[in-house]
Amino acid sequence: MKDRYRAAELQLAHHRAKLVPGLSIRPNWSGGRFWYATGDSFAFADPRTGAHKTGLTLEQLTAELGLAIPENNPVESLSPDGRRVVFRKGYDLWIRVVETGEELQLTSDGTADQPYGTNPDQASYKMMMRRFGLPHVPPVVLWSPDSAKVLTQRVDQRGVPLMHLIESAPPEGGRPVLHSYHYAVAGDEVLPRAELIVFDAVTGTAVPSKGAPLQLHFASPVQYGDAWWAEDGAAYYLEPSRDMRTLHLRRLDPVTGEVTTPVQESGPTRVDARQMASHPPNVKIIPQGVLWYSQRDGWGHLYLYGEHDVTQLTSGEWAVDQILHTDDRHVYFAATGLVENDPYCRQVCRVALDGTGFTRITDDDLDHEVHVADDGSCFLDAASTVTDPTVTTVRDWDGNVLIEVAEADPSALEATGWSPPERIKVKAADGVTDLYGVLVLPHDFDPGRSYPVVDHVYPGPQTHRVPPTFSPGFFGYDGEALAALGFAVLALDGRGTPGRSKAFHDESYGAHATAGHMDDHVAALNQLAETRPWLDLTRVGVFGGSGGGYAATRAMLDYPDVFSVGVAECGSHDARFYHPLLADAYMGPLDAGVYERMANQTYADKLEGKLLLVHGELDDNVTPHLTMRLVDRLIAANKDFDLLIVPGAEHLSLGYEYYVVRRRWDYLVRHLMGEEPPKDYRLAPVVFTPDMYGG
């Protein structure tokens, strides 16, 4: 068993990259050229000449680029020309000239309730920043492309209630420490507000927006990617209504502060500007008008709002995933739903700005993850599937390969006992809808044996659980570690998740109590077992974190005859006391009865199996009282369960805590596999870096 734990540890994200060289290339573009890190060295590529050099030292890379790589201060924002930085002092903003060190104070009246250049408390990740040893995230500012102006905001948190965390064992010792911060929850009348301001980077002159303050469901549009500078010299931003059923495109004149609304759209459920929450919005200002993303015909497509008319550019039973590039005649984009055997695979396409000439630039059965050059001349293309290792090339906009960059080599990973997951297709519980996911086989798989099954869930309506790529994604590494322990692992994107039709996604709207349609997961397990008798459906467990922690618990409560063991980490068990973004976007108007039915503690008396609840004491996102409310009701119902509260842990780090990972494995091995875990096994502590959090 100890050997299995060692193999499982190697599957975790911070080890996996070392086992698969060439898996992920992160380009740093500069004038159509790019460089990237490769372990202890660097690589440089120039698509214009075909040059591609690897194994470079930092000095050699600097010589190839012809310029020094700017040092990144994580609490400053560097202008595009590299001449100035914006930084925070207390609650105010300053600018410093890099060459001379001269400082210019932009604001002087910031307060704790009304700070400048920051997100509201609820989206400031203060506990995560503390783990990195930083005072705060970078300033919430957006430099204009010419480095002449800065778009930022002043947050107003007056009237927003406080949330409280208790740090029981502060590192410096002494009494417990109270951490209080502003945190709105579902149904609160008062949300944080933000007043947008444009500053002149040289004189410091301020031009406040004349528009109404923005209501912030969570983070600022400046931070979230929903604000940008356009070629007409104005700043644009997206502003949703409180119920998220109307989306406005606003234009902020940086000289006068006037705000106009070029486009707005309303619908019966949320109106999205993107398929995936992690993607930039599919809205762009071009000389011909506004490129606008809409699901008004049931699928995510592009529309061009001209001066006098609106033209639908794309159509069909597929979806635009992401705008990539535009030129004088075309818009280039990634689309899903064009690959017959996998609707999640992205293909690179183009269409003329009059809606004619739709063309697939990539025309295969692979997924294409794209990074566009800073000058728009070409793109880095990482092509793969769940079973086909990533091949990274640079292509022009006709699809021609300019440079072959890397090919992922999984041989060292295979030596650990790993084998590629199986891409699966099953029917939803409705018996009609096709669903997709992966089934991860246990290491040293033998079809003559019987294996316990773990459903690794994340049903959040804002993202996928299963990417169609060779990389298992943010959530997938934990599932593959469980396979190394000897479990068969299911991961499924049920109804209500994004990436397909509007109707498919809207299965989650007002239906949070289904926990991402766990009935689809039950249906999938039964279908898979019909042709895979080695799946032991008398031993099925479930595990997840955050929204997955909610779903794992709900699976145990709603389907006790299916799921006998569960591990729920930092679960968002009661949406009434979680931030309002999730509620307003995906649950509809606040209804006491609906929210009561969504809360896991409402059904605490239904628990039958073995359940481990885990929460970080300093989780300032999904706060620990959400687990404790469930604990309170489980105790009242006289139910046995297990609880682990981790001192000092916050939301995003919890799943990386080496002790938590080991306890998760031990719990599933002991109660689902029926074996005794290795005594005193200790995982190597993880060194936390921003890359582990996606940026």
pLDDT at 693 over 50: no
Show the CA angle centred on residue 372, arms to residues 367 and 374, nearest 5°.
Answer: 170
- pLDDT at position 689 is 55
- pLDDT at position 151 is 98
Which one-letter amino acid corresponds to residue 687? V
- pLDDT at position 631 is 98
- Encoded tokens for 421: 């997951």
pLDDT at 72 over 80: no
Q: Is residue 93 part of a domain?
A: no
Q: Is residue 8 part of a domain?
A: yes
- pLDDT at position 686 is 77
Per-residue pLDDT band for 694 (boundaries 50, 70, 90) equals: very low
Write the pLDDT tens digit of every residue in 351-400. 999 999 999 999 999 999 999 999 999 999 999 999 999 999 999 999 99
- Residues 598, 588: contact at Cβ < 8 Å? no
For residue 465, what are the contacts with CB-CB under 8 A and spacing of at least 6?
A: 437, 456, 457, 458, 459, 475, 491, 492, 493, 497
Per-residue pLDDT band for 690 (boundaries 50, 70, 90) equals: very low
C-beta contacts of 305-309 below 8 A and 24+ residues apart: 305/262, 305/263
User: Taking all residues of the chain, what is their mean pLDDT, rounded to a whole number?
Assistant: 94
- pLDDT at position 687 is 67
Out of 533-547, 623-637, 643-657, least confident range: 643-657
DSSP letter string over 382-413?
A: EEE-SSSPPEEEEE-TT--EEEEEEE---HHH
CA distance to 438, 493, 513, 584, per residue, from 566 (Å): 20, 19, 18, 29
Q: Is residue 582 part of a domain?
A: yes
- Rounded to whole angstroms, the Cα distance separating 366 from 388 reads 8
State the residue for tokens 């689902």: 672
- pLDDT at position 112 is 94
Per-residue pLDDT band for 132 (boundaries 50, 70, 90) equals: confident
CATH (domain of 508):
3.40.50.1820
- pLDDT at position 181 is 96
Q: Is residue 152 part of a domain?
A: no
Strand ranges for 420-523 from DSSP E: 422-427, 434-440, 451-456, 488-493
Pick from 530, 532, 531, 456: nearest CA to 494: 456
Over range 550-573, report the average pLDDT: 97
Q: Which residue has the higher pLDDT, 460 or 222?
A: 222
pLDDT at 182 over 90: yes
Over range 298-319, report the average pLDDT: 97
- pLDDT at position 688 is 57
- Rounded to whole angstroms, the Cα distance separating 260 from 250 reads 6
Domain that holds residue 597: 2-19+411-693
C-beta contacts of 237-244 below 8 A and 24+ residues apart: 237/196, 238/273, 238/281, 238/283, 239/214, 240/271, 242/191, 242/215, 242/584, 243/584, 243/588, 243/589, 244/217, 244/270, 244/271, 244/584, 244/585
For residue 458, what are the contacts with CB-CB under 8 A and spacing of at least 6?
A: 465, 475, 516, 544, 545, 546, 547, 548, 551
pLDDT at 116 over 70: yes
Q: Is residue 177 part of a domain?
A: no
pLDDT at 583 over 90: no
- Rounded to whole angstroms, the Cα distance separating 407 from 424 reads 25
Over range 32-36, report the average pLDDT: 95
Over range 142-155, report the average pLDDT: 97
DSSP letter string over 171-192?
A: TT-SS-EEEEEE---TT-S---
- Total domains, the chain: 1
The DSSP H or E segment spanning 294 is: strand 289-294
* Cα 181 versus chain centre, distance: 24
Q: Is residue 370 part of a domain?
A: no
- Residues 8, 482: contact at Cβ < 8 Å? yes
- pLDDT at position 134 is 79
Out of 134-138, 242-246, 501-505, 557-561, least confident range: 134-138
Per-residue pLDDT band for 267 (boundaries 50, 70, 90) equals: very high
For residue 62, what are the contacts with CB-CB under 8 A and spacing of at least 6?
A: 68, 69
Over range 231-255, report the average pLDDT: 97
Which one-letter amino acid corresponds to residue 541? G
pLDDT at 295 over 70: yes
- Residues of the chain with pLDDT > 90, as a percent, come to 86
- pLDDT at position 673 is 97
Q: Give the pTM.
A: 0.95
Write the pLDDT tens digit of every residue in 653-682. 888 889 999 999 999 999 999 999 999 899
pLDDT at 692 over 80: no
- pLDDT at position 653 is 84
Q: Is residue 320 part of a domain?
A: no
- Rounded to whole angstroms, the Cα distance separating 355 from 316 reads 13
CA distance to 83, 94, 106, 202, 477, per residue, from 102 (Å): 11, 10, 13, 11, 47
Q: Is residue 422 part of a domain?
A: yes
pLDDT at 123 over 70: yes
